[in-house]
Structure 1
Amino acid sequence: MSKWFVYLIRTRHNALYCGVTNDLERRFQQHTNGTGAKALKGKGPLILEWSIPVENKSQALKLEYKIKQLSKQRKERLVAGEDIMLEGLTI
């Protein structure tokens, strides 16, 4: 079974972008090169702040959706590792 990842990337404006991939290194390189998501173009330098492996694409997409619903403050707590098991983030 292939691993998927949910990740958070920080832009130079301190925004956090959430995405999913099955190859984290390749996807981050795409974002850095400007060939990834439109939302990140021209917003570098980019920093991969956080990632978590999940079992499959379905779980990754569900978790990505839940993270995108969080406030910036809760995303920052996730990045800081202060509250890895945030309530409501289980899939």
Structure 2
Amino acid sequence: MNYVYILRCNDDSLYTGWTNNLEKRLKTHLAGKGAKYTKARLPVELVYYEEFEDKIEAMKREYKIKQLSRKEKLKLVHIEDIDK
């Protein structure tokens, strides 16, 4: 399986990525080795993910999510924006 995921960082920002091993990728992020962006914003929390059979489909979905506004992403993951 391939996954698109959204992490909520400790500064309340959102990070979107894709992986073929969600559990391993989350552990990597939490260890400060996942991405330059999340490394500086630990700890992170997995707040959303979608599963895909195909890597290309997951990557396409990641791109589409990254094009969304913060408000749209919060709606997708069912989180209320504290900055309303």
Give the alignment's TM-score, normalised by structure 1.
Answer: 0.83
Q: Kindly report the root-mean-square deviation, in angstroms, between the aligned alpha carbons of the 2 structures.
A: 1.1
Q: Which runs of 5+ in 1 are unaligned?
A: 82-91
Q: Which has more strand, going by share of residues?
A: 2
- Tell me the residue number matched to 1:86: none
- Tell me the residue number matched to 2:36: 38
Are 2:8 and 1:10 aligned?
yes
The superposition leaves residues 5-40 of structure 1 with CA deviations (integer Å, 9 ceiling, x where unpaired) of 000000011111000001000000000001111111
Give the alignment's TM-score, normalised by structure 2.
Answer: 0.90
SS at match of 2:68: coil
Runs of 4+ in structure 1 over 2 Å off = none
1:45: Cα distance to partner?
A: 1.4
Cα distance in 1 between the residues matched to 2:61 and 2:40: 26
